[in-house]
Each structure stands twice: as structure tokens, then as C-alpha cells.
Amino acid sequence: MKIFPLIVGMTLAAGPLFAQSVTVQSCNRQVTFETPPQAAISNDVNLTEMMLVLGLADRMVGYTGVSGWKTLDERMRSGVKELPELAERYPTKEVLIGADADFYFAGWNYGMKVGGEITPESLAPFGIQVYELSESCIFVGDKDKVSMEDMYRDLRNLGKIFSVSDKAEALISGYQAELASFSAELDPTAEPLRAFVYDSGEKTPFTAGRYAMPTALIEAAGGVNIMDDFEKSWATVGWEAVVERNPEVVVIINYGDVTAEQKRDFMLSNPAFAEIDAVKNNRFVTLEYVEATPGPRNIEAVKKLAQGFWGN
């Protein structure tokens, strides 16, 4: 069963009222909704795509946090063409209140910061309920190591919140079946390929640790993140640790002002990295930001990684 990563041009009529209130777990909070939101805002490209793939564009009053860092590809532009971008980067409280929002889908370091202006607690007095991206929950409490279940959980909870659970479950089942079918083609006896995620930074690299989505994607593609024991989500490490752990492949996250090609050239031209297997063998795989963060394009990302790892 093939589920396309993004369904655009699909709208729903105003959602039915709940037969009874709906409660979902959002990080370390339980959030109860008496009715489905009708004026939602999402932050960042991957969270916005989760809303779109569920057909929720008509329940949204806008989105935030995309053009300040990233560009929209054709699929994404088509999906949000009727919606305004209310803030190029993180929104202020005034932006969300001014849009008459009743719901904000964001995450920690995905539109909110611990101790910052925008939090579930700061928005509650204005009638704006918040659902937090599961991958980001490590910033406010303990969580299990990242897995594909983090993305499925968010889709499932959004389905409950907006009363489109049937749609959410169909998508999840399709993603799971597609991934299982693809995984069956991988060689189970192959030694996992050592991979390093290079997001950004030259003096110290910003990378994905144990709780960031690329760790799950790499594992699904038959590899292992060399920073799997790094008890962080997205954070900086020292280049010495990268050299010592000697990745066989570097996974570059493409976004921002520094291109993937520039990041690759930096590693290839730096004598300090000359003995890294990935550099010696010129083995780099590029993931777009929207593929590497939790969202509907994660299955595509696994396939792209496997192609770069094994030629599958």
C-alpha cells in the first residue's frame, strides 16, 4: 500500500463535535479538548506537513517558522498556498493571539523554548491549547530513545484532537506497511554502517543524538548513529569524537545558508578529517530538513539513506 508523503488540495468540512471530550498525552502533560480546534497554527515545515497530510488546512489560520531558515519545495508550497506565514521564525505571543488561534502545534526548539515567551502555560490564558512534538519531549522530561513511533504518535494524537482518527490510522498503517516491505529487502546479516549526522557548524558540529529523528531513520536503513549514546536530541559535539568514532558515511542535513555541497566540501578539504572512512571514500548522503525531522517524509528518508548506505 503506497501512501504519498503529502496530500495537498484536500480539505475537510468543519470537524464534528466530539461525542465526549478527548484527552491526549503531550510530553509530560495531559491535554483535554472539548471540541476540535478550528483556528490552528503549526510551527516549522515538518509539523505543518503533518497537519496537511491529515487534510487539516481548512482548520488552520496560518503557519510559522519556515522561511526564516528554510525554503518550501513544490509540494509544500502547494499545500500552504492558501495560508499565511505569520512569522518567518519563532512567533511571538502577540502573533498567535492576534491570529485568534485556538491551537498551536509546536515543539521544544521547534517554535518554543524552555523558559521562553511561548509555552503551553503562557498561551493557556488566551485560550490557545498546545500539542508538543514527541521528538522534542526530551527537553522537558525523560523519554524513550527516538523511534518511528514518535512520528506515528503525533499523527495519531492529531487525529484524535481534530476528530480525523480514521484518516490518521490509515496513514500510519500505510507508512508501517511500506516501511516493513522495504525493510524486508535489506540484508539482516549486514553489519550496521556507522553514520554521522552533520547538521551544521564548522568549529563544533551540530548533530543528532539518541533522541533526534535521524537516529531512528539511520537504524531503519540498516545503519547505526555513531552518536547513539549521546544523551541529547539535536546538540553540538566535538570533532574529536567524530574522528575517533570514524563514521563510514556522513548524513548531511540540507537547509539554511550553508548548502549541503558546502558542508561536504568542508569535510573533504579539512586535513583533520582525512582519515575518516566516510571522507576517504567520499561517502555522503543528503537529507532535506523536512525528511530528517519527524513528519510524513520519514519513509522517503529511510529509502534515501538505504540507497546511500547499500545501493538499495
Question: What residues does each domain of the chain span?
Answer: 22-178, 193-310
At residue 2, does pLDDT exceed 50? no
Q: What is the pLDDT of residues 55-107, one digit of tens each?
A: 999 999 999 999 998 888 888 888 888 899 999 999 999 999 999 999 999 99
Reported pTM: 0.91
Angle, CA of 16, 18 and 40, to the nearest 5°: 65
- Residue 17: per-residue pLDDT: 66
Q: What is the mean pLDDT of the chain?
A: 93
**CB environment 57-67: b (16+ within 10 A), e (fewer):** bebbbbbbbbe
pLDDT band at 7 (very low <50, low <70, confident <90, very high): very low
Angle, CA of 277, 294 and 207, to the nearest 5°: 35
By the 8 A CB rule, do 248 and 280 touch? no
Q: How far apart are CA 198 and CA 139, in angstroms?
A: 21
At residue 16, does pLDDT exceed 70? no
- Residue 300: per-residue pLDDT: 96
At residue 6, does pLDDT exceed 50? no
pLDDT band at 18 (very low <50, low <70, confident <90, very high): low
Radius of gyration for the alpha carbons in the chain, expressed in angstroms and rounded: 20
- Residue 15: per-residue pLDDT: 53
- Residue 69: per-residue pLDDT: 86
- Residue 311: per-residue pLDDT: 86
Question: Are both 22-178 and 193-310 of the same fold?
Answer: yes
**251-268: average pLDDT:** 96
Q: How far apart are CA 178 and CA 175, in angstroms?
A: 5
**169-188: average pLDDT:** 95
Given this structure, which CATH class describes domain 22-178?
A: alpha beta
Structural fold of domain 193-310: Rossmann fold (3.40.50)
Three-state secondary-structure class, residue 235: strand
